[in-house]
Amino acid sequence: MNFTSNFLCCKHKLLNIYSKSFRTSAITLQNVQQATANKRICIVGAGPAGFYAAQYLLKQLSDCTVDIVEKLPVPFGLVRFGVAPDHPEVKNVINTFTKTAENPRLRFFGNVTLGTDISLQQLRERYHAVLLTYGADQDRELQLENEQQPHVISARKLVAWYNGLPGAEHLKPDLSGRDVTIVGQGNVAVDVARMLLSPLDSLKITDTTEYALAALAESKVERVHLVGRRGPLQAAFTIKELREMLKLPKVQTCWRADDFAGISDQLDKLQRPRKRLTELMLKSLGEQSQSKVTPGSKQFLPVFLRAPKAIANNEMEFAVTQLQDNAAVTTTETERLPADLILRSIGYKSSCVDTGINFNAALGQVCNLQGRVLRDSTTKSIEPGLYVAGWLGTGPTGVILTTMNGAFTVAKTICDDIAANTFDTSTSKPGLELGNMPIVTWQGWQRIDKYETEAGKSRGKPREKIVNIAEMLRIAGV
C-alpha cells in the first residue's frame, strides 16, 4: 500500500472514530440535558391538598420546580379559614406547609385567580403538568321554599365569618333569637354549634375575628338543635368533636331516648371507632337522666331521624324518617322545631372556574380517574399532564389526614407519569410571568403574617386576621 492509500485509510479511520465520538457525545449530552431538565409543575390552590402535593413532588423529583397559584393573597386555604379557632392544634400543620414553601424550588403566587387573571390553557402552555386543588367553595342546598330568607344561611358562611375569610365580614348573622337549628350532623355542624354555645372568654384567646367576638358577646342563643336524617349509628361527627361538646361549661347535652331504641343491642357488631362513639352517646344519655337542668345553662340538642321539609319564620318543619337499608325514608309524620336562625350544613361542592376544565356540575367536581383529569368522560380518555386532588376531585369528604393521603397519591401518579413519558418534559417551559399584576410572593405573605401576629399580641390572641384584600396587598408591599 502506497503513501497516498495509507493516508486515505488512516483518514477514513480517524473520521469514523471522530464520528462515533461525536455521536456518543451528542447522545450523552442529550441524556444529561433530559436528566437535568427543569420540570415545571403548577399547583392551583394553596390549601392542604396543594401543599401536601408540593411536598411530595419536591421530595421525589429533584429536577422539578413547583409554583403554587392562589386566588387569595394568603395561603393555607381551609386550615386558615375552615378549622375552628378553638382547634389551634389542627393548625400546626401550617408549620409543615411553611417548610415546604421555603424550599428554593417552590414559588408562591398569591392574588392570582384561575379563569380571570390567567386561563388553564395558558398554564398548560407554561408548565409540563398542572394540578388543580382549589377546593370546594359552594354549598349544597336543601331545595326548600323560603331557603333564601335572611334567617337561613350556610354553616360554611358562618365558619368563614368567624374565621376572617375576606368578604365574609359582611354576613351579619342574626343571633338575637333563642333557638338555632343546624341541618346536618358532620364535624362542621358540631364546630358551629360549639362556637355558638362556648363561653366568650374561651374564644377571646383564639384567632376568632374581633367583629365575630363582638357579635357573639351580644348573642341571645341558648339552644342549638343538631338535626340529622339518619340515626345515631350514622352520625357523621367524630368522637373528638362530641367529647368537646360534652365538656363545654354551662352547656347541657340533651339526647332523645327514643332515638336510641335498640342501639345498645348492636354495639358488638360495630367497628371500633363507631362503637366508641356510640358508647359515648349512650353514656351521656344515661347521665342526663340523673342530672337536672341548671338555670342559666345553654342546651345542645342532637335530633336524629328527621328530614327537612319546610321553612317558616321562626320554626322549621321536619319529616320523621325510618331507616331502610341504612337509608332514611320519610314517613307521613312530621315535627316542628323552633328556629330563629337556620344553618344549612349538608355538604360543599366545587365551582368550575375555567371553561377548559372537564367539570361535572351535578357532582360539583372535576371529572377524573384516580386524579388524572378526563379529556372525555364517556371514553374515559385522559388529558395528559392535567391532574386534580383534594375536594375538587373527590368531593368534600374526610379530614385533613384524608386530604394528605389523597394528595400524596395524586402526586405519586404525576411522578409515575413523568417516568413513563406520558407527557413531554424534555422541552423547557417558562413558568408563570404575570407582568405588572399585583402578585403576593411568599415574602409578601410573611409580612402579612408578622403584621397579624403582632396585632393579635395586644389582644392576647395568636393573631388578628386581616380581612380586607386591599389592606393585605398594602402590607405585603404589592
Residuewise pLDDT in 10s, the chain (478 residues): 443 344 334 334 433 433 333 333 333 333 333 334 499 999 999 999 999 999 999 999 999 999 999 999 999 999 999 999 999 999 999 999 999 999 999 999 999 999 999 999 999 999 999 999 999 999 999 999 999 999 999 999 999 999 999 999 999 999 999 999 999 999 999 999 999 999 999 999 999 999 999 999 999 999 999 999 999 999 999 999 999 999 999 999 999 999 999 999 999 999 999 999 999 999 999 998 666 667 778 999 999 999 999 999 999 999 999 999 989 999 999 999 999 999 999 999 999 999 999 999 999 999 999 999 999 989 999 999 999 999 999 998 888 999 999 999 999 999 999 999 999 999 999 999 878 889 999 999 999 999 999 999 999 999 999 999 999 999 999 9
Q: Which amino acid is at 206?
A: T
Which DSSP state fits 418?
Answer: H
Distance of CA 135 to the CA centre of its chain: 5
Residue 44 per-residue DSSP state? E
Cell, residue 422: 406520558
Alpha-carbon torsion 201, 206, 210, 216, what sign? negative
CA separation for the pair 243, 213 (Å, rounded): 24
Tell me the C-alpha distance between 54 and 106, whole Å. Answer: 8
Residue 410, CA distances (Å) to 17, 363, 370 in order? 48, 20, 7
Query: Of the candidates 228, 220, 214, 181, which has an alpha carbon nearest to the alpha carbon of residue 298?
Result: 220
Q: How far is it, in rounded angstroms, from Cα 439 to Cα 476?
A: 9
Write out pLDDT tens, residues 369-395: 999 999 998 999 999 999 999 999 999
Q: What is the pTM of this model?
A: 0.88
